[in-house]
Amino acid sequence: MPFPGRVRRHAQLVGNPYFNPLNFFLKILLPVVAIGGLTRAAVACDSCALYIAEGAEQAGFTLSIAQQFTRLGSVWSGASRLGNPVDQYLDSSITQCSLGYSRGGPWRVQFTLPYISRSYVRPNHALIDEGRAKGLGDATLATRYRLWETTTARGDELEVNVLGGVKIATGDADHLSDEIGEDEAHHHEEFPESGVHGHDLALGSGSTDWHLGVDAGWKRGRLFARGQLQYKLRRPGAFNYQLADETSWELGAGGYAVLTQKHSLAVQALFSADRKGLDTFAGDPQVDTGISVRYLGARVTGTLGQRFAADAAIEVPVRIRTTATMVVPDYRFRAAVNWRF
């Protein structure tokens, strides 16, 4: 959500005074959304979109800390929920620390380094395996560009931004080696099957990947709406293991309960989704990596002056599909704070 006190410029597309919003949507945004809807992606069952702070038009640095906690405590296979006699689970915490900079124009650059902590309990034949994987994840260097913005005669404020970035292999990918021979391992029917796998616990991929995205927003008075789509283009990584491409999107709409030049408080409803397909190991699909989750939730956002902003959201899944036995989200909590200096 943008800082409410900022001053909008007149309608423009930087470098192109003949920009047509309808043609832009049909030729660029619509194909991107279509690709996102059809793409199959895969990482751990817990996905985390790259957090980019608002406010590229204000010069200076921005320090952001974004937190996502996901409780994965239910076991599913396909569209069915299974029993969980040993109470296996995965608690995933991802903290993104980001430093961004803008010269005051349409461009914003940001470096993000995540810290990941995942605790788990899972069956291992007749035994119970319990542990924690924690450490730095894969860093991302990204840029966000305000492609178009306008204020109409009716007071509607519209904007479109694009995102591009590169992910650097700084996280520990050792748990990906757990996938070697996992499909061939014999599972005894008298023991519960594990829904927590090596790819769920890996902190990094060992690969250099690409991060792409687009977001658009509308605001009129105290009402606003926003949508975003992010797509991770994966390449082969550690142990000849390749995480598949990943897609996440979010739609939100709400209004301001408080809106002044000094501070604001807004509430919005959310509809979001993550779609993940099959990883490959040495070119062979890994059947326990595919999952699609849709969420409903709510977010509260606030600002204090032109330097401080914070938000928090809670989401619960309303539709789940998996390609094998997996632990899936029961809920997820997201929060972020931004400070400009």
> Quick check: helix, strand or coil at residue 121?
strand
Query: 12-340 adopts what CATH topology?
Result: Lipocalin (2.40.128)
Instruction: Please tell me the least confidently modeled range out of 53-62, 83-92, 205-214.
Output: 53-62
Residue 91 and residue 118 in contact, taking contact as beta carbons nearer than 8 Å: yes
pLDDT over 70 at 190, yes or no: yes
Domain positions in the chain? 12-340
pLDDT digits (tens, 9 = 90+) for 45-72: 566 667 776 655 678 999 999 999 999 9
Task: Give 141 or 190, the one with higher predicted confidence.
Answer: 141
pLDDT, residue 55, reads 56
218-230, pLDDT tens digit by residue? 999 999 999 999 9
List, in order, residues 6 or more apart from 120 with CB less than 8 Å away: 88, 89, 90, 91, 129, 130, 131, 132, 133, 196, 200, 201
Radius of gyration (Cα) for the chain, nearest Å? Answer: 21
| C-beta separation of 74 from 36 below 8 A | no
Residue 51's pLDDT is 73
Say what the pLDDT of residue 50 is: 73
How big is the chain, counted in residues?
A: 341
pLDDT at 25 over 90: no
User: What is the 3-state secondary structure of 147-199?
Assistant: EEEEECCCCCEEEEEEEEEEEECCCCCHHHHHHCCCCCCCCCCCCCCCCCCHH
**Exposure on the CB side of residue 250, measured as CA atoms within 13 A:** 25
